[in-house]
Chain A
Amino acid sequence: MAVIRPAKDAYGVLISREIAEKSGREVALASVYAALERLEKKGFVSSRLGEPTAERGGRARTYFKPTAAGVKEAREAHETLLRLSGGLSSLNGEPSC
């Protein structure tokens, strides 16, 4: 979902910042890339290499974007989460009994 959220050109730093802002927890960039590689293998995201820049020590960015299958999978996961959490009174701050 952090890949879908940025308007365009999501890359490692942006995605990890997105996760940190929304979850309040900083994640290692390497773990973001590890997750992206798994998603890429499953065909849920695609990547393209940008141009190398001096401020990155001559290294290029890799931009990620979700594929149609990835968006579908994310939508289904989101709906499942909503269904699972629906009606759980303890999550709404109400007493459970």
Chain B
Amino acid sequence: MLKHTPMLKHTPPRFATWLLGRFGSSAHGESLAGDLIEQYQKERSRTWYWKQVLAAVLIARARFLGSLPWMAAGRLFSRLLAETAAVLTVCVVADEMRRGHGLAQAMDHRFIGTLTVLMAAAACAFAASRRGSNRIQGRAAVNALILAFGVIALGAGTLTWAAALRQDPCPSSGCVCPSE
């Protein structure tokens, strides 16, 4: 995309043009953008412009996904999993803080276990998402270390969690235990 856009009689929707440049790229992306602007100057409406941009983005994304080999798709999925686990970790901590428990109070087996499992899942998925990536080829040792840490932490976390659940069958305050 050109950094400087000459003065136009009718400026097309800026956000749509940005979307097109950012997500609708193809071999002839510049010409497509130029064609849309040319048509917009002559006779077309904003709605038409938006429709064309959305179609371009959808087509570009579909072609991009279609061109991915399955390994790359797997890496993409692992990355998604890692990010989800990382976000969940933050959510668990935030939820605990929201309930008014200090971190010191919250540090029971169950909480630590949950955090460990989530962080380990994030680390494993992140390591998997980086495997085979061009950027870290040649760093197999680092990769293996991250993976080993993930596996060990995942195992330890799961065991801790299971132990905590066995010891405390009614962990939540709203639970009515049969013995009470």
C-alpha gap A51/B5 in the complex (Å): 15
Tell me the bound Cα distance from A58 to B33 in angstroms: 10
Chain B residues packing against A (C-beta within 8 Å): 2, 4-9, 12, 24, 26-28, 30-39, 41, 51-52, 55-56, 59-60, 63
Contact of B26 with A13 in the complex, beta carbons under 8 Å: no
Task: Check if B59 sits within 8 Å of A30, measured CB to CB.
Answer: yes
Contact assessment for B56 and A28 in the assembled complex, using a CB-CB cutoff below 8 Å = yes
Pick from A33-41, A66-74, A81-89 the stretch touching chain B: A33-41
**Which of B26, B28, B32, B55 has the largest count of A CB atoms less than 10 A from its CB?**
B28
Instruction: Tell me the smallest distance from the CB of A19 to a CB of chain B, in Å.
Output: 14
CA of A54 to CA of B38 in the docked complex: distance in angstroms? 9
* B2 close to A58 (CB less than 8 A): yes
A55 at the interface (CB under 8 A from B): yes
Q: What residues of B have a CB within 8 angstroms of the CB of A58 in the complex? A: 2, 4-6
Q: Given that A30-B55, A30-B56 are known contacts, is A59 also in contact with B34, CB under 8 Å in the complex?
A: yes
